[in-house]
Amino acid sequence: MSPVRRAVLGSAVLLLVVAGLLPVAGMILRSLTAGGHLGFEAYRGLLGSARQWSLAGNSLLLAALTTVAALLLGVPAGVLVGRTDLPGRRLLAALLAMPLLLPPYLNAVAWMAAGSASGPVARVLGEGAARTLSHWLFGLPGCVLVLSTAFMPLIMLLVAAALRGVPPRLEEAGLLAAPWRTVLLRISLPLAAPAILLGAALVFLLALGDVTVPPSFRYPVFAVESLSQFSAFYDLSAATAAAMPLAAITAAVLGLEALVSRWTGAGTAGRGREPGPPPTVPLGRFRLPAAVTAWSVAGLLVGAPLLILVLRAGGPASYAAALGQAGGSLVRGLLLAAVGGTLLAAEGFLLAVLGVERPRGAGAAADATALFLFAVPGAVMGVGLIVLWNHPWANLIYATPLILLLGYLARSTAVTLRICRATLELVPPGLVEAGRVAGIGWGRRLVWILAPAAWRGLAAAWLAGAVFCLRDVGMTLLVHPPGWDTLPVRIMTLAANGAPELIAALCVLLVAATVIPVGLLAGLVGRMEAGS
Amino acid sequence: MSLLALEDVRVTFGHRVALDGVSLAVEVGERLVLLGPSGCGKTTVLRLLAGLAVPDRGRVLIGGRLAAAEGRLLVEPEQRGLGMVFQDLALWPHLSVAGNLELGLRARGTPRTDRRRRVRAMLELVELGELAGARPGELSGGQQQRVALARALVLEPEALLLDEPLSSLDLELARRLRTEILRLQERLGFTLVHVTHDPEEADQMATRTLRMDRGRLAG
Ligand SMILES: Nc1ncnc2c1ncn2[C@@H]1O[C@H](COP(=O)(O)OP(=O)(O)O)[C@@H](O)[C@H]1O
Ligand SMILES: [Mg+2]
């Protein structure tokens, strides 16, 4: 093995371990040494309290309902946008995916504004309707609505990608005997089952660990009431003890997911090597009803909240005030996102290369680690980072934005890793082998051949990485150094007592700061692709 | 001493045995053709010689030096100094024709002006001088074959490994390109290991032919 290869890939693995695994390990240690000696003291308080158990019950209920709702929305959406001739499917996919790019609580702000006494529903349908809406949303239903909207795109995107990776021959064999509907249900979707399972597991874990939406609807959950509270008051031993069950559940759910998908044995979906897109499924007479339904759902879940925020924000005065209050946070957030996205794309690319070269050994371990760190609640990771780095000797990291970049690497490498991996698997192995025979060393093959051949994936990874940095709240809220809050964090802190117009204007700014760059870059990539 | 040699190699993929008990020696300057039906292991032989595959059993020698043995790769492909034209060509789609030829020279540290000169000369030799700036995707099948050939030859390899380079072309074009390869070999003097399933092609190209069948050398 070339020394360059060992050094480069070794550093990438080491970075993931230092950024993500060490904080978790530090946390375990800390939770076991509360009070200065080894023991389970910190857990005793936690496990002995009836309140914690009821909070845990609430959390699990919320996560389960969110997963069910996200599956009901995400699987059909994935089929429709991934494989059918639904009118406007690309735009629909973009619209439905938008909430994943934004902090989930934006929709919570919007729905609360919708139901407020002076909100749009009250103005159009009367105050009674507004009261009914806000009464209905308050508590569990609002949380499920917002979180399933936010995380459903994960399932949609995974299902769409898996369906596009089903070998066309398998479907064609079915089409000789049965109509498309049957082929999709009996052949394509079962082959996509691992993707659906992974999506469901991730949605469950993300909903379980969210600390931003439940407080908006005053729904008490474990991650907020225990973890965030304890860490806000710097009771770190209690916070680490509260973080442990969440980290353990994350590991357990992902382990179970891996086991089940191995048992079912389906690993072929999503790894198609055959060139060209798979055939499009004609919707026939269902085309119009399906389009109306899909677009209405997207309008209600994504369009309506955005419209409400715009209406609520009102005129330019609100935006001027918003920029005055949080312009600095916006700039800092974008800057951190640009740097973080670059780091994440590089890290994801290198680990994806490792995954392609060593699909069973180190590559699989890196992928599992990244996925675990992605699913660990942001607040848990935040507590871990504090425990690990809040020491005088680590001020260079803890008191600077480096701590945030480490956290972003820990939390979102899975995203860029999976994107790069999917692209690398489409690069014919001959391209790299031809480089080897031509005497080109490992590092140069990476830069001269592999990266250019996978540039589309790298661009997408950079964009996704940046967006996932910008949208992070749970972790950033806890660990950002003084003067380095980002826009979503600033909105969270202002939301408690800021004027509603100001908050709405800030939310719209955040949407614009995310969606405009994403749209521009996606358009640019699309044009370059059409040109080549 | 032979230029390239396999000694009693065995290669398996899972339970499937791709090569078993294969020994062969390639002498300097000869044109060896491996002839056999699809799936008999021809590509695997070339990949062993190139270092892209490793034998589970047996040894691979390059210039008398042990290059791989018993599951271990001892000389990396990038250090073997061989040229190879892949069955699917594997041209780098993001580089121009000239860029495809230049990359290996760059890796070797050949100075820029020298590089340019050699690339231009090689492209003239395969009659692609006009197309130096084109992307592989813009070329016809025959032109792509010649780029792949030129990319391998510009590095002046001791031996050239050709994996059914003409199988996707129509008969007339294939015949013309075979003549061209023979002309290049005469001119540049490299050793040739050529793999094909087509007996006519073997007749035209070979100074020596070995037949393969189901992972073994026949006859
Ligand atoms: N990467 C691989 N994985 C599994 N089987 C392979 C692989 N490469 C080759 N084989 C098998 O090894 C045998 C020889 O293949 P190959 O050398 O490509 O034959 P040829 O080039 O003569 O058509 C075939 O049975 C083929 O299916
Ligand atoms: Mg072959």
Model pLDDT, residue A277: 65
Whether B66 maps to a domain, the answer reads no
Kind and range of the H or E run holding B13: strand B4-13
Judge contact between B13 and B166, C-beta under 8 A.
no
Q: Which residues of A touch B95 (CB under 8 A)?
A: 452
Each residue of B33-57: pLDDT tens digit? Answer: 999 999 999 999 999 999 999 999 9
In the structure, what pLDDT confidence band is assigned to residue B116 with cuts at 50, 70 and 90?
A: very high
Whether B6 maps to a domain, the answer reads no
**C-alpha torsion A397→A401→A406→A411, nearest 10:** 150
Q: How many domains does chain B have?
A: 1
Ligand 1: does its nearest atom lie under 6 Å from the Cβ of B44?
yes
As beta bridge partners, residue B193 has B32, B161
Round to whole Å and give the CA distance between A265 and A258.
11
Token pair of B173, please? Answer: 């074009």
Distance from CA of A436 to the nearest CA of B (A): 5
Model pLDDT, residue A169: 77
Model pLDDT, residue A127: 84
Whether B57 maps to a domain, the answer reads no
Model pLDDT, residue A272: 41
Ligand 1: does its nearest atom lie under 6 Å from the Cβ of B37?
no
Whether B148 maps to a domain, the answer reads yes
Whether B120 maps to a domain, the answer reads yes
Residue B120 has phi, psi (to 5 degrees) of -65, -45
Neighbours of A219 (CB within 10 A): 20
pLDDT cut 90: percent of chain B above it: 79
Round to whole Å and give the CA distance between A374 and A464.
13
Model pLDDT, residue A279: 82
Q: Is B107 on the interface with A (CB under 8 A)?
A: yes
Residues of chain A predicted below pLDDT 50: 266-273
Judge contact between A139 and A219, C-beta under 8 A.
yes
**C-alpha torsion A270→A276→A278→A281, nearest 10:** 140
Whether B12 maps to a domain, the answer reads no
Model pLDDT, residue A268: 42
Whether B20 maps to a domain, the answer reads no
Kind and range of the H or E run holding A436: helix A429-437
At CA A479, angle to CA A477 and CA A483, rounded to 5? 80
Query: B41: CA distance to ligand 1 center in Å?
Result: 6
Burial A421-438 (b: 16+ CB within 10 A, else e): bbbbbebbebbbbbbbbb
Round to whole Å and give the CA distance between B196 and B43.
9
- With tokens 């007749």, the residue in question is B203
DSSP A216-265: HTT---HIIIIIIHHHHTT-HHHHHHHHHHHHHHHHHHHHHHHHHHHHS-
> Could you give the domains of chain A?
1-17+314-532 (1.10.3720.10), 40-271+288-301 (1.10.3720.10)
Residues whose CB falls within 8 Å of the CB of residue A52, separated by 6 or more in sequence, listed in order: A46, A222, A226
- Most confident among A126-135, B163-172, B191-200 (mean pLDDT): B191-200
Residues whose CB falls within 8 Å of the CB of residue A162, separated by 6 or more in sequence, listed in order: A78, A191, A192, A194, A195, A196, A269, A270
- Closest ligand (CA of B16): 1
- The alpha carbon of B202 is separated from its chain's Cα centroid by a whole number of angstroms, namely 15
Task: Identify the DSSP state of A142.
Answer: H
Whether B45 maps to a domain, the answer reads yes
**Structural domain containing residue B193:** 30-52+76-217
Is the full-model pTM beyond 0.90? no
CATH classification at residue B200:
3.40.50.300
Q: Is B152 on the interface with A (CB under 8 A)?
A: yes
